[in-house]
Structure 1
Amino acid sequence: MNEPPRLPEGSFAAWSRDRLALARRGADECGDVWKLEPGVYVAARAGPCEAVLRRAQDFSLAASPLFPPLKRSSGATTPEERAHAHAARMRGLRPQAVAARIGEIAPSAAQFADQWPTGQDIEILPLVRHALAEIGVRYLFSEDAPALLPFASRLFLAREVLVRPSRWVWPHWVPTPARRFRTRQQVAFTNALQPIVRRRRSSGRLGDDVLGQMLRPSTRYGLLPEEAILDTLPGITIATFETPSRAAGWILLHLARHPQAADRVAAEAALLPADPAATTSTHLDSLQYTQALVREVLRLYPPSWLLTRRVTRQTRLADYTIGAGSTVLVCPYTAHRDAREHFDPDQFQPERWLDDSGSPANPGVFLSFGTGPHGCEGAALAMAMLTLLTAQTARHYHLSEPPGPEPSYQVTTLEGLATAGLRLRATLRS
């Protein structure tokens, strides 16, 4: 069998010590696809990464959901019901739906900028996460968001506990303390959400948010069971702010390190309405350089830098044979540094996403939100949130890293690419 090459001295032990460095070595020394361990392969370049993500029939999602359906006396929801719930949820997350609600997203982004303490070095990610949680939960649940936000915060804490490194990888059915804690928080969230679902249905005031879209009957599959709605929302609730928070850390760090780029973002943001609630999709579209900067940071530091897929049947990938049951690690981090796709790929150049007239361009593969049938359903919402947060921050402040030899953050890679402990200082623009 024609297998991909194995990286010399590559192993899980070396991988655990420095994942990013080993991923770069594998891409540089082995090319498109390389073998980490028997039965474990890394798709390192743009072409194979896109192929794996698009060919869901050959490369299936390997991980179980973070918040699996709860066990109930009425029985578990069926795969078909969960698929219908996903389709209903998507009605509220499509780009057109997000564009129609920009005026609801913009005020929280502006509030985050207004409340940033100035003149002191602060750990910024907790503030970012809170701001993005407010935006995400309000986008899903509108006026019911304040009642659900505390439960969403505890869901996030349960996620953090669940993904902490452990010496042991327990089977999914073992009720570890972390999993029991996760279940308790999931039950608490759904118990808080259930009366909201019933009130909306009984009153007929379903709402125009994502929950309202899920409560509307479809001509294709009718009315969703209550359980299918409750089961599908914990995961997407966390997703609206967890991954964007990691991305925002990298974006704010780049505003601090590239003041000329930050000045250009600030100049665009100065044209936004004084009242953030008056912001529309037209205003968002006018932030072309800001969006280019966000995309460039996401290219260099994709928050979900490694995606796992399971090979369902023996197949071919980049001229290699991959056996059934193998694991393929898709690496957007190295795919985005493929010189065949991006000129000078290690350099921060937001302009690469603009053509000569300053309009949006598409210079190469972009996998920060995945692609194919399992691409990120909240991509449009995430881009809107991050663009407005970036614009409002640069509009108000110059950012800088703390002086001194100590780094202002630590790179973490276990559950995503993040700037743990990031500290920055904000100074008001004159």
Structure 2
Amino acid sequence: MNEPPRLPEGSFAAWSRDRLTVARRGADECGDVWRLEPGVYVTATAGQCEAVLRREQDFPKPPSPLFPPLKRASGAPTPEERVHAHAARMRGLRPQAVAARIGEIAPGTARFTDQWPTGQDVEILPPIRRALAEIGVRYLFSEDAPALLPFASQLFQARELLVRPSRWVWPRWIPTPARRFRTRQQVAFTEALRPIVRRRRSSGRLGHDVLGQMLRPSPRYGLLPEEAILDSLPGITVATFETPSRAAGWILLHLARYPRAAGLVAEEAALLPADPAATTSAHLDSLRYTQALVREVLRLHPPSWLLTRRTTRRTQLAGYTIDAGSTVLVCPYTAHRDAREHPEPDRFQPERWLDDAGSPARPGAFLSFGTGPHGCEGAALAMAVLTLLTAQTARRYHVSEPPGPEPGYHVTTFGGLATEGLRLRATSRG
């Protein structure tokens, strides 16, 4: 069989020790697609990563949601009901819906900067996560957010336990302690949300948030069953702040390392309204350099740097034969370093996302939010939140790293690409 090349000394043990280095070596030495071990392949370049993500029939996403439907006597929602729930959820997450609610998002990003202690080194990811959780949960549930926020935090803890590295991969049917904890937190969140759903429906005041969009009847399928709504919300609730928190860590680190770029962001942000609630989509659109900086950081450090797909049938990829049942690892991290798509790919250059007139441009592949049928449904919300958080931070502060030869963080790659333990200092711009 015509198989992709295998990386010399690229064993699974080496991969487990330093996945980023092995991924770079595989792309450099083997090309578009390479073999990690029998039946496990890595797509390393932009064209092949996009091909896999768009070929849903050949490379479907594995059916293993982080928060699977709860087991109930009435049974889980049908596949058709889950599709309808996704479509209803997207009514509140599409770009137009996000643009209409910028004035609700911006105050949360401003509160983060208000609460950052100045003049001291701070481990910044926990307060980022709290701030983004408040923004995300409020975006989904509006005035009901305060009641649900503690449960959302527990869902995040369950997620962290589930993605923690382990020597053993247990079959899905084994009730490990992490899975039991996940189920308890999912049940608690669902039971806190259930009376909110019933109150809104009985009162007729459905709301204009994402939950309200899911409660509205559709001309195509009518009203969603209650269980389909409840089962579809734990995952997106965590996703509104978990992945953006990782991205925000990288962005703030780059504001510290590239003061000139931070200054350009601050110049743009100076034109934002003094009252964050008065911020509109027009203000967001005017932050062109800030959006370019965010995209460039996400290009270099995609929070979801590795995506898993499984083949359903024998197929061809980049001229190689891939057997049915194989695992294909899609690597945006190396795809974004494909020099054919991004000249000087290791260089931090936000200007690459702008044309000569300073308007947004779209050069090269950008897979930080995925693409194809399973692209990130919260991409518009994430970009809005990250852009406003970046602008508000640069407007108020100079950001710096702690002194010393060692970085004030270490990079983690399990469950996403993150700057664990990141410590930064904020000083007022005056």
Q: Counterpart of 1:250 in structure 2: which amino acid?
A: W
Give the CA deviation at 1:289.
Answer: 0.2
Aligned residues with identical type, % of pairs: 86
Q: Distance in 2 between matches of 1:166 and 1:40?
A: 19
Name the counterpart of 1:145.
145
Q: Deviations over 1:150-184 (max 9, x none)?
A: 00000001111111122211111111111000000
Mapping for residues 183-262 of structure 1, pairs under 5 Å: 183-262=183-262
Name the counterpart of 1:132.
132
Name the counterpart of 1:311.
311
How many aligned residue pairs are there? Answer: 430
Name the counterpart of 1:427.
427
3-state SS in 2 of match to 1:329: strand
Q: Counterpart of 2:387 in structure 1: which amino acid?
A: T
Q: Counterpart of 1:189 in structure 2: which amino acid?
A: F
Q: Which runs of 4+ in 1 moved over 6 A?
A: none
- Root-mean-square deviation (Å): 0.6
Q: Distance in 2 between matches of 1:428 and 1:167?
A: 46
Mapping for residues 46-195 of structure 1, pairs under 5 Å: 46-62=46-62, 64-195=64-195
Q: Distance in 2 between matches of 1:43 and 1:405?
A: 35
Q: Distance in 2 between matches of 1:244 and 1:193?
A: 23
Q: Distance in 1 between matches of 2:426 and 2:168?
A: 42
Q: Distance in 2 between matches of 1:121 and 1:210?
A: 37
Q: Report the more deviating stretch, 404-413 or 337-346.
A: 404-413
**Is contact 1:63-1:308 (8 Å) kept?**
no
3-state SS in 2 of match to 1:369: coil
Q: Distance in 1 between matches of 2:314 and 2:415?
A: 28
3-state SS in 2 of match to 1:61: coil
1:329 aligns with 2:329: yes
Q: Distance in 1 between matches of 2:181 and 2:363?
A: 44
**Is contact 1:316-1:322 (8 Å) kept?**
yes
Q: Counterpart of 1:266 in structure 2: which amino acid?
A: A
Give the CA deviation at 1:406.
Answer: 2.5
**Is contact 1:137-1:237 (8 Å) kept?**
yes
3-state SS in 2 of match to 1:399: strand
Q: Distance in 1 between matches of 2:64 and 2:234?
A: 14
3-state SS in 2 of match to 1:60: coil
In structure 1, list runs of 5 or more residues that go unmatched.
none
Normalising by structure 1, what TM-score? Answer: 0.99
Q: Distance in 2 between matches of 1:19 and 1:102?
A: 37
Q: Distance in 1 between matches of 2:123 and 2:96?
A: 35
1:356 aligns with 2:356: yes
Name the counterpart of 2:412.
412
Q: Distance in 1 between matches of 2:6 and 2:177?
A: 37
Give the CA deviation at 1:63.
Answer: 5.2
Q: Distance in 1 between matches of 2:206 and 2:387?
A: 29
Give the CA deviation at 1:62.
Answer: 2.1
3-state SS in 1 of match to 2:427: strand
Name the counterpart of 1:18.
18
Q: Distance in 1 between matches of 2:162 and 2:341?
A: 36
Name the counterpart of 2:28.
28
Q: Report the more deviating stretch, 317-326 or 285-294.
A: 317-326
Q: Distance in 1 between matches of 2:160 and 2:346?
A: 31
Normalising by structure 2, what TM-score? Answer: 0.99
Q: Distance in 2 between matches of 1:336 and 1:278?
A: 36
Q: Report the more deviating stretch, 160-169 or 302-311.
A: 160-169
